[in-house]
């Protein structure tokens, strides 16, 4: 049973407590939307989950891999990253590689696939995000929405059990957001576990199984979308939602 379990997670940076005792369990196949004001620690939470940064207290379990405070050993980090793919706000595609090579690079170098196998997987995944016709393009030749879909395909190429998405539509023009979000909705149908940091309340309401509101490194509220989004319990959540939903 694959699940992500976060217990008493504390992360400090430069004397400030960025994450302060996060308790959260994400079940297999679940899509969790994480909302919260800028600077509340959403990215940091995802980076902790993917072992891109060390934390100070608590424990994270991803499937049967356990992360503990302090520097994460290289092999543990690599294991956890193979379980959880990550997509970034600013795409972070490799500009010197064609779309297909962006996707095929991980399978070839990390999973040890042959060039041909890796390429085949790349083609498959580009098809899945609707970009098979752009396989030979370089990132600089793609639109923002296309870039982000390539980035999703790149993460999926490692065959992760879960996907971490950090504001992946924030850098996109409004009319391009849907093409990326609909890819996420498809992935959910395929049973992928997802943690989606987003400001798209509409997406959270329609696609997410649960919504989590983060503020100042603490979880203010977590629950079903209707419950959290329509009837928030605290005034702070109400204020925040009022601001994002305008």
Interface positions with ligand ADP (CB under 6 A): 13-14, 18, 36, 38-44
44 binds, among other proteins, ligand ADP, Mg ion, none (CB under 5 to 8 A by kind): ligand ADP
Segment contacting Mg ion (CB under 5 A): 16-24, 35-43, 168-176, 214-222?
35-43
Nearer to ligand ADP, 20 or 28 (CB): 20
Place of tokens 């983060």: 214
> Are the C-beta atoms of residues 19 and 30 closer than 8 Å to each other?
no
- Of Mg ion, ligand ADP, other proteins, none, which one does residue 158 interact with (CB within 5 to 8 Å by kind)? other proteins
Nearest distance from C-beta of residue 84 to Mg ion, angstroms: 17
Spell out the residues 6+ positions from residue 191 whose beta carbon is closer than 8 angstroms to its own. 28, 29
> CB count, 10 Å around CB of 71?
9
Residue nearer to other proteins on the CB measure, 10 or 97:
97
Residue 209 carries which DSSP code? S
Q: Closest distance between ligand ADP and the C-beta of residue 211, in Å?
A: 15
Q: How far is CA 90 from CA 73, 126, 145, 234, in A?
A: 27, 19, 11, 32
| Interacting partner of 1 out of Mg ion, other proteins, ligand ADP, none (Cβ under 5 to 8 A depending on kind) | none
Is residue 43 involved in binding Mg ion (CB under 5 A)? yes
- E strands, the chain, where? 4-13, 16-26, 31-35, 57-62, 65-67, 84-87, 162-166, 193-197, 210-215, 218-223
92 contact, one of other proteins, Mg ion, ligand ADP, none, CB 5-8 Å limit per kind: other proteins
Give the distance from CA 212 to its chain's centroid: 14
Rounded least distance, CB 233 to Mg ion, Å: 25
Nearer to ligand ADP, 27 or 90 (CB): 90
Shortest Å, Cβ 229 to ligand ADP = 18
Q: Which residues touch 115 (CB under 8 Å, ≥6 apart)? A: 104, 108
Which residues in this chain contact other proteins in the complex, by CB under 8 A? 50, 52, 74, 77-78, 81-82, 85-86, 88, 90, 92-96, 105-106, 109-110, 138, 140-141, 154-155, 158
- Is the Cβ–Cβ distance between 24 and 197 less than 8 Å? no
Applying CB under 5 A, the span of 36-44, 60-68, 149-157, 210-218 interacting with Mg ion comes to: 36-44
């Amino acid at each position: 049973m694959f699940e992500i379990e976060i217990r008493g997670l504390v992360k400090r940076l430069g004397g400030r407590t960025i994450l302060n005792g996060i308790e959260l369990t994400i079940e297999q196949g679940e899509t969790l939307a994480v909302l919260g004001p800028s600077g509340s620690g959403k990215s940091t939470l995802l980076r902790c989950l993917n072992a891109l940064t060390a934390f100070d207290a608590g424990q994270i379990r991803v499937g049967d891999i356990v992360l503990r405070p302090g520097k994460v050993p290289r092999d543990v980090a690599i294991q956890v990253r193979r379980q959880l793919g990550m997509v970034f706000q600013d795409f972070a595609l490799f500009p010197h590689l064609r779309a297909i090579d962006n996707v095929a690079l991980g399978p070839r170098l990390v999973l040890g696939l042959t060039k041909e196998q890796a390429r085949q997987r790349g083609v498959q995944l580009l098809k899945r995000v609707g970009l098979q016709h752009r396989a030979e393009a370089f990132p600089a030749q793609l639109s923002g929405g296309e870039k982000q879909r390539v980035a999703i395909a790149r993460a999926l190429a490692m065959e992760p059990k879960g996907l971490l998405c950090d504001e992946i539509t924030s850098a996109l023009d409004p009319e391009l957001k849907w093409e990326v979000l609909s890819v996420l909705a498809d992935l959910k149908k395929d049973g992928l576990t997802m943690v989606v940091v987003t400001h798209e309340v509409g997406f959270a309401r329609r696609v997410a199984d649960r919504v989590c509101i983060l503020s100042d490194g603490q979880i203010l509220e977590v629950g079903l979308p209707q419950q959290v989004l329509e009837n928030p319990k605290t005034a702070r959540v109400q204020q925040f939602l009022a601001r994002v939903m305008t």
